[in-house]
Structure 1
Amino acid sequence: MKKALFILFLFIAIAAQAQDKKATEKPQIVETACGECQFGMKGNGCDLAVRIDGKAYFVDGTTIDEHGDAHAKDGFCNAIRKASVTGKVENNRFKATSFTLVKEK
């Protein structure tokens, strides 16, 4: 009986952890912008964020300043852009392994 309970708790723990890690090995197109200015996230300044499946996450692995002037007319603080990304959601943050802005048509 103890063994069955242990296995059940182990399974639940693994399943709960897997839900937080939405890994994307293939590039996916996401919305990206300043989390505070465009997505209404709480933070200490202008920080890069992505929106995946309707939920916004701050980004680790690249910064808002690596992609141009955030305060320009088309910058992340003034516009929501599209990006092709790979990475995973971990601890409620998006850990980017690649991040490429998609050119506007």
Structure 2
Amino acid sequence: MKKLIFLALLFTGLNMQAQDKEKTEKPQIVETACGECQFGMKGDACDLAVRIDGKSYFVDGTTIDEHGDAHAKDGFCNAIRKAAVTGKIENDRFKVTTFTLIKQK
């Protein structure tokens, strides 16, 4: 009986974890820019950030330099752009799984 209860609890926990991951990994369109230059975040250098539901988060999993010249006219230090992302917020940072910059019109 103890084994059955243990397995039921284990399955429930794994199922809840899978549901939580699905929610956090849902693709979304976010604002993205240099956290320090455009979003007023505290930091030591130009770092990529996203703004989700009005709150800004530094990004882990990709860098500001992987998406062009940050100091160009349309670069992250001079403009707020849009990106399609998947990932999740952990420890007040956005852990990106996918990051696709949306071309400006």
Residue 76 of structure 2 aligns with an amino acid whose one-letter code is: F
**CA shift for structure 1 position 57:** 0.1
Name the residue aligned to 1:3.
none
* Greater gyration radius: 2
**CA shift for structure 1 position 104:** 1.2
State the TM-score, normalized to the length of structure 1: 0.77
Name the residue aligned to 1:59.
59
**CA shift for structure 1 position 93:** 0.1
State the TM-score, normalized to the length of structure 2: 0.77
The structure 1 segments of at least 4 consecutive aligned residues displaced by more than 3 Å after TM superposition are: none
Residue 43 of structure 2 aligns with an amino acid whose one-letter code is: G
> For each residue in 1:58-85, what CA deviation from the matched residue of structure 2 results, as whole angstroms up to 9, or x when unmatched?
0000000000000000000000000000
Name the residue aligned to 1:100.
100
- The answer for unaligned runs of 5 or more in structure 1 is 1-20
- The answer for unaligned runs of 5 or more in structure 2 is 1-20
1:86 matched to 2:86: yes
Percent of aligned pairs sharing the same letter: 87
1:24 matched to 2:24: yes
Give the 5 Å matches for 1:4-19: none
The structure whose residues are more often strand, as a share, is 1
Provide the rounded CA distance (Å) in 1 between the counterparts of 2:59 and 2:76: 13
Name the residue aligned to 1:70.
70
Aligned length: 84
The root-mean-square deviation of aligned C-alpha atoms, in Å, is 1.2
